[in-house]
Amino acid sequence: MFDRFHARLIPCQSKSERGDVLLAKSLLEMIDITKLFPGVRALSNVNLTVEEGEVHAIVGENGAGKSTLMNVLSGIYPFGTYEGQILYDGEECRFRVIRDSEKKGIVIIHQELALVPYLSIGENIFLGNEQHTTGFIDWDATYHNADKLLRKVGLNESSRTLIKDIGVGKQQLVEIAKALGKNVRLLILDEPTASLNDVDSRKLLDLILDLKKNGITSIIISHKLDEISYVADKITIIRDGLTIETLDKATDDISEPRIVRGMVGREMVDRFPKREPNIGSECLRIEDWTVRHPLFTDRLVVQDASLNVRRGEIVGLAGLMGAGRTELATSVFGRAYGTVLKGRIFKDGQPIILTSISKAIQHGIAYITEDRKGDGLVLPVSISENISLAKLSKVSKKYFLDKDLEKNVAKDYRDRLSIKTPSVNQLVGNLSGGNQQKVLVSKWMFTDPEVLFLDEPTRGIDVGAKYEIYCIMNDLVASGKAVIMISSDLQEILGMCDRIYVMYEGKIIGELPRAEASQEKIMSMILSASKGA
């Protein structure tokens, strides 16, 4: 029995310090996992051991193989499509579909939440796991049991509320409640806080620690290393499809510089690249911009917003989720969102009217969406086709597409932005998140923008890829472009921006130059605005 469960004796502290021992059982072992995709070895003899009752983090750069490893474990990549062995609770497992792993109590929550917006919370929690008697859904039991699960995760919403009517932070809690409804023993969370602000992130991390107290083991994938250090007992680092090392919080250094060194194979002295600002004339000015919600027409999502950005300048838009930052950017970008009630736009001092996205592009304005997979890229087509998509006229001759020119353009951006791919013919959907982000940036750089809105440009990508995106931003403003960056990461805003506008409930409530800005001042502005609301 001892060998079967791969248990070992480890010391534990007691009040009497007698050297008592605790039996620690390996709940999961993944042994020599190798996974190949066409032209790519995603995993090469990766090993992972997770002990029962711990929070185990997996970190690495984009494309390192973290999500691929978890997809192997959960059965998304079925047995037979990979090499290696999975031992769970002492038994070898050969999962062929995700239901096989769920029957064992292994539940994965992906970064893109799998919830149906126009169904209720209760319906989502038991979707595919319906509460029924004699073949008919028992709705009373559904909502009663869903309400109990919501209380367990600290959510006070009614289970009859539609998913679309709650925020992303609460939707993450619904996903965890859904996992609890499947009697989860091993919970896998892939970038669970990528879309959350600091407050919601901490609530989610504390919930993971509470679940640990109740015997639930967790594996968490995240690029937010401060959160990893806070929540994880052990940290396994994967680089280029290989297991590099596992750090134990009890005995090893798990500081951010130490983790980063393992991830990228080198020291990173500065998180943000240095830049000497060379700020020129005003490039874009927005005045009294007011926008109505596209569906709830009595609701104003942007109210009397005014801001400007100059050439050579990075301007930040800070604020909590729902503050109206994305709505402001997308409504300016060819009125892609909502109904613009009033407002004026000036480019180089001249008034312009942007009634469509094509007109915005013609005036040298680009918007890089926060949702690269949903709105930014066409995943089933190639890198080269994605890069040219926003301005096909540049790779066309007499209305005919020049495929050779298109590929040469893509190769140029691949080299300039260090996109890791064997070929520009590769499908974008097969790239890591960081490389997808670089393709998205390439797509809009190809339109020759003079003003670039960047909405959460580093969400869900690793520290190395973030640094490369920051360098691209610096290169853009060094060439005389203007950048407006929306980010929920205040350290990123403070590290990259020359000026910062703070938004709250659709209004710009303050402006701070870089020298005067701090997290405390920004949060103080938001708190004051909330009290005055």
Residues 160 and 312: their CA atoms lie apart, in Å, by 50
Give percent of the chain with pLDDT exceeding 90. Answer: 60
pLDDT at 493 over 90: yes
**Which of 113, 183, 117 minimizes the C-alpha distance to 145?**
183
The beta strand positions in 15-96, using DSSP E, are: 21-24, 26-37, 40-51, 55-59, 83-88, 91-92
Residue 359: phi and psi, rounded to 5, are: -70, -35
Q: In this structure, how many other beta carbons lie within 10 angstroms of the beta carbon of residue 262?
A: 18
What is the separation, in whole angstroms, between the first and last Cα of the chain?
63
pLDDT at 466 over 80: yes
Given this model, what pLDDT does residue 533 score? 57
Judged by phi (left if over 0) then psi (alpha if -120 to 50, else beta), residue 207 lies in alpha
Q: Which residues pair with 106 in a beta bridge?
A: 186
Given this model, what pLDDT does residue 203 score? 86
Residue type, 431: L
Per the structure block, which two tokens stand in for 175? 């996903």
3-class DSSP state of 112: coil
CB 185 within 8 Å of CB 105:
yes
Domain with CATH 3.40.50.300 in the chain: 23-105+185-269, 270-364+449-533
For CA atoms 435, 439, 444, 446, give the dihedral sign. positive
Per the structure block, which two tokens stand in for 231? 């929540």
Judged on CB neighbours under 10 Å (0-12, 13-18, 19+), 10 is exposed
Range from 4-8, 152-156, 363-367 carrying the lowest mean pLDDT = 4-8
Mean pLDDT for the chain?
88
pLDDT at 104 over 50: yes
Q: Measure CA 527 to chain center.
A: 26
Give the C-alpha distances (Å, rounded to integers) separating 163 from 107, 169, 201: 20, 11, 19
Per the structure block, which two tokens stand in for 380? 């089933």
Interacting residues of 227 by C-beta distance below 8 A, sequence separation 6+: 193, 201, 205
CB 521 within 8 Å of CB 509:
no
pLDDT at 17 over 70: no
Beta strand 499-504 with 507-513 is antiparallel
Judged on CB neighbours under 10 Å (0-12, 13-18, 19+), 282 is middle
Residues 332 and 307: their CA atoms lie apart, in Å, by 12
User: Looking at residues 258-272, what average pLDDT do you find?
Assistant: 77
Given this model, what pLDDT does residue 267 score? 62
Q: Which residues pair with 8 in a beta bridge?
A: 24
Residue type, 366: A
Interacting residues of 281 by C-beta distance below 8 A, sequence separation 6+: 310, 311, 348
Task: Check residue 382 and report its DSSP letter.
Answer: B
Greatest extent of the chain over all pairs of C-alpha atoms, in Å: 86
Residues 98 and 106: their CA atoms lie apart, in Å, by 9
pLDDT at 289 over 80: yes
pLDDT at 501 over 50: yes
For 23-105+185-269, which CATH superfamily applies?
P-loop containing nucleotide triphosphate hydrolases (3.40.50.300)
Residue type, 93: C
Residues 440 and 187: their CA atoms lie apart, in Å, by 31
Residue entry with tokens 């750090």: 247
For the chain, the 3-state helix, strand and coil shares in percent, each to the nearest 5, are 35, 30, 35
Q: What is the DSSP string of 143-182?
A: HHHHHHHHHHTT--S-TTSBGGGS-HHHHHHHHHHHHHTT
Given this model, what pLDDT does residue 341 score? 92
For CA atoms 222, 185, 51, 250, give the dihedral sign. positive
3-class DSSP state of 490: helix
Please report, to the nearest 10 degrees, the dihedral formed by the alpha carbons of residues 169, 175, 176, 178 taken in order. 150
CB 470 within 8 Å of CB 272:
yes
Given this model, what pLDDT does residue 223 score? 83
3-class DSSP state of 264: helix
More confident position, 441 or 489: 441
Q: Measure CA 253 to chain center.
A: 26
Residue 141: pLDDT band by 50, 70, 90 thresholds? very high
User: Looking at residues 28-42, what average pLDDT do you find?
Assistant: 87
Given this model, what pLDDT does residue 269 score? 60
pLDDT at 21 over 60: no
Task: Give the global pTM.
Answer: 0.68
The CATH number that domain 270-364+449-533 falls under is: 3.40.50.300
Calculate Rg over the CA atoms of the chain: 25
pLDDT at 121 over 70: yes
Residue 199: pLDDT band by 50, 70, 90 thresholds? confident
Q: Which long-range contacts (CB under 8 A, 24 or more apart) does 242-245 make?
A: 242/44, 242/45, 242/46, 243/45, 243/46, 243/47, 243/48
pLDDT at 471 over 60: yes
Residues 316 and 57: their CA atoms lie apart, in Å, by 31
Q: What is the pLDDT of residues 379-423, one digit of tens each?
A: 999 999 999 999 999 999 888 999 999 999 999 999 988 888 889
